[in-house]
Structure 1
Amino acid sequence: MSPTAPALASKLDNLRSSAIRDLLKLTTRAEIISLAGGLPDAQLMPRDRLAAAAEAALTTQGCLQYTESPGWAPLREVLAVRESARLGRQVELAEVFVTHGSQQALALLAEVLLDPGALVVVEDPAYVGALQVFRAAGARIVAVPLDAEGMRTDVLEDLLARGERPAVVHTVSNFHNPGGVTMSRERRVHLAELAQAHGFWVIEDDPYGELWFDRPTPAPVATHSRNVIRLSSASKILSPTLRVGWLIAPESVCRGVELLKQGADLCGSALTQQMAAALLADETWLAGHVAHVRAVYGERAKALVHAVRTRFGDRVRCSDAAGGMFVWADFTDGTDTTALLSHALDAGVAYVPGSAFAVDAGHRSALRMCFTTSDAETLGDAVERLAVAAG
């Protein structure tokens, strides 16, 4: 009699691996220029300051021990000050929760806010990490489109008028991943008003808001309603290896997140949280560091957009490069970017096909390109290789 293998949870049936993470395995070859991964440039990360912060933290015994589940208190105090300035209101310490990157915040919130079958509204195209989280939670996902001003809140309003009652609306409000657009102030206010009127939560996912090139972004959606839970991260401005993210939410939500985090990993790293606190609290240094990152990324973004528009002309439409890390492009002639990818890899360039960001089927002619890890000349070469592959 052959042994019967134990079963896995049925919720895994509807999950699929991130196409982006899978693609990264193929782009480690030196001959491939990768526009696929959403990676900040390691050469711009403040290695000396990180080393000094680590050395200073290691002079205390506390950095080697467990810390509080909501995060090391001095870091939460620093974040409360930063977020108070961003939101234009006093953020209390009880409203600040530190997580293992903002992706963990999103995963824990899904467990706190969603019952199986609950409706979640996302943007179309959608952030892949959000789709993975909401699918794992057993949510029913409905997408509303993006345009140049971000989420189409008028389409959301129509859904509400037809009787749909979301538990959560998720938005990447600044320099959308993958769409590259930023939600206008008017739509931020409208989204907040809808959340207030219909009693749903908004998760405002904002890892890119400080990476603006020409002008700062509008005030966060969370400025306009306490129904908005705001997520952010140190990964894009300091280093992903710190794994320091945070959420700003009502105390009751933070308490729910704390209960679940205790069951997941007890607490974060006291060492990296102390390091992050030291760097984020040094406002003068941090402002100069982020300004330098903005300048470098801004030059690269504009170089990529210019190369795409010059080389492809009307055959490809792409988003403007006002900030963040990504450019979203569409082939106007119906080119299937999933089918094109193998030819692009043969030509020595990688990107993420638009279908990876679709809730259902869609975006077959689109692609996402990341500009952060290559200089302007290399980005131009990447576009030339893509043009060769596309024929």
Structure 2
Amino acid sequence: MSSLAPHPYPLSARLRDVRGSAIRDLLTLTARADVLSLAGGLPAADLLPRTRIADATARALAAPGAVQYSETAGVAALREVVAAIESARTGRDIGTGDVVVTSGSQQALDLLARVTLDPGDDVVVEDPAYVGALQVFQAAGAVLHGVPVDTDGMDVDALELLLLGGLRPRLVHTVASFHNPRGVTLSQARRARLCALADRYGFLVVEDDPYGLIAFDGPPPVPIAAHGERVARLGSASKVLAPALRVGWLVAPPEVSAGVERLKQSTDLCGSALTQTVAAELLADTTWFDEHLRSLRTAYRSRARALTAALDDAFGDAVTRSTPTGGMFCWVEFRDGRDTGALLPRAVDHGVAFVPGAAFAVGTPRTSALRCSFAGYPEPVLRGAVLRLAAAAT
């Protein structure tokens, strides 16, 4: 027998630079039946349109093409309906050729980063930031620069100061509508200024928009892309139809979209023609889809108000919190500076879970903050979850 020690399997430096997702790690911890999880960004299981999806799937299976390889850029019917939706929302003439369908918007973000970034390039993200964006940009070898988020979204004044100081980012990433994790929305004035800065300094705005259609009151926010052309929009069916469809999309300047399509060929050749065909039918049925969105908005609005009222009753002035006007998240900060990472194990012992704010941190530690999702449970359960959290915090 050889006495040579086995060599370790070689892993890339790129992997070492990517931190794990605290949210994904929490899924195992919170899988216990006795734990009420406010941690994950999962849409409400009781509101997923299972019957409608089943009917559309049966119809899709009648066409041989639905179980065959498809175009890399996506099934034409889905690209057509996405182009129509994006045209209506942005007020721009979006063509089918401008749309690339991806396996969820996370794949669109990853492909976009690989198309536009070289190791060492500068990228601006919000602070706190969407964890999936941090992972993508770390994997691309980008240098991250955080910009604060307040009640009106990304602090564009702070971004402009960085630009005046010489920073020249390739990308500026924002979850502008119903922010993950802060739950706030970028004002229209700031959206216009952001596009003006993109034109002046030559960066691409990445408008990550999985929640924009889930506005509780009134129409969805007008997208950033309505204010300028240097914008790549990422959309998703996961939050408004079902995550398991794995349908997302990118709409970007032509050379960027072409690059994403070319790189996607080396990633998965094509997405699922079956689930794309299903998504195309559901999104194209505007009468049904509009009513489905109304149901989602009504349910999430009620759940958000139940959660925030329970937080106010249980904690009073001990915390500050966001006031959700759409989306799925509420951001909470303890005024006494307590460490929510240390609080989490006690909370799980009391049967409730959340995501500590440090998971979303870029520059500021965020150790006294936490993110809650109100989407997954009806109102009485949410009130019970907050009581468990309050018991753990005492």
Instruction: Give the TM-score of the pair, scaled to structure 2.
Output: 0.98
1:312 aligns with one of 310, 315, 320 = 315
Paired residues of 1:229 and 1:249 also in contact (CA < 8 A):
yes
- Kindly provide the CA deviation profile for residues 288-324 of structure 1, in whole angstroms up to 9, marking residues without a partner as x: 0110011011100000001101110110101002110
Structure 2: runs of 5 or more not aligned: none
2:71 aligns with one of 68, 89, 95 = 68
Structure 1: runs of 5 or more not aligned: none
Helix, strand or coil: the match of 1:25?
helix
Pair 1:229 & 2:232 matched? yes
Paired residues of 1:309 and 1:317 also in contact (CA < 8 A):
no
Paired residues of 2:231 and 2:253 also in contact (CA < 8 A):
no
> How far apart are residue 273 of structure 1 and its match?
0.4
- Kindly provide the CA deviation profile for residues 340-366 of structure 1, in whole angstroms up to 9, marking residues without a partner as x: 101101111100000000014510000
Paired residues of 2:212 and 2:221 also in contact (CA < 8 A):
no
- Kindly provide the CA deviation profile for residues 242-281 of structure 1, in whole angstroms up to 9, marking residues without a partner as x: 0000011122111101111110100000000000000000
Aligned counterpart, 2:295: 292
Aligned counterpart, 2:133: 130
Q: Give me the whole-angstrom Cα distance separating, in 2, the residues matched to 1:160 and 1:382.
A: 43
> How far apart are residue 43 of structure 1 and its match?
1.3
Pair 1:240 & 2:243 matched? yes
Helix, strand or coil: the match of 2:376?
coil
- Kindly provide the CA deviation profile for residues 219-241 of structure 1, in whole angstroms up to 9, marking residues without a partner as x: 11111111000011011110001
Q: Give me the whole-angstrom Cα distance separating, in 2, the residues matched to 1:89 and 1:228.
A: 12
Paired AA for residue 364 in structure 1: T
Aligned counterpart, 1:273: 276
Paired AA for residue 171 in structure 1: T
Helix, strand or coil: the match of 1:120?
strand
Aligned counterpart, 1:106: 109
Matches within 5 A, 1:188-207: 188-207=191-210
Aligned counterpart, 2:120: 117
Q: Give me the whole-angstrom Cα distance separating, in 2, the residues matched to 1:206 and 1:267.
A: 22
Aligned counterpart, 1:357: 360
Aligned counterpart, 1:18: 21
Paired AA for residue 189 in structure 1: A
8-17 vs 139-148, which deviates more?
Answer: 8-17
> How far apart are residue 6 of structure 1 and its match?
3.4
Pair 1:329 & 2:344 matched? no
Paired AA for residue 247 in structure 1: L
Structure 1 segments (4+ residues) deviating >2 Å: 215-218
Helix, strand or coil: the match of 1:264?
coil
Q: Give me the whole-angstrom Cα distance separating, in 2, the residues matched to 1:198 and 1:223.
A: 19
Q: Give me the whole-angstrom Cα distance separating, in 2, the residues matched to 1:88 and 1:24.
A: 39
> How far apart are residue 69 of structure 1 and its match?
0.3
Pair 1:35 & 2:53 matched? no
> How far apart are residue 88 of structure 1 and its match?
0.7
Paired residues of 2:127 and 2:363 also in contact (CA < 8 A):
no
Paired AA for residue 93 in structure 1: T
Count of matched residue positions in the alignment of Structure 1 and Structure 2: 391
Paired residues of 1:234 and 1:245 also in contact (CA < 8 A):
yes
Paired AA for residue 67 in structure 1: S
- Kindly provide the CA deviation profile for residues 184-213 of structure 1, in whole angstroms up to 9, marking residues without a partner as x: 000000000000111000000000001111
RMSD: 0.8
- Kindly provide the CA deviation profile for residues 358-380 of structure 1, in whole angstroms up to 9, marking residues without a partner as x: 01451000000000111111111
Paired residues of 2:354 and 2:371 also in contact (CA < 8 A):
yes
Aligned counterpart, 1:366: 369
Paired residues of 2:216 and 2:297 also in contact (CA < 8 A):
yes
2:172 aligns with one of 169, 173, 182 = 169
> How far apart are residue 3 of structure 1 and its match?
2.6
- Kindly provide the CA deviation profile for residues 129-162 of structure 1, in whole angstroms up to 9, marking residues without a partner as x: 0000000000000000000000000000000000
Aligned counterpart, 2:90: 87
Q: Give me the whole-angstrom Cα distance separating, in 2, the residues matched to 1:173 and 1:275.
A: 28
Helix, strand or coil: the match of 2:100?
strand
Helix, strand or coil: the match of 2:87?
helix
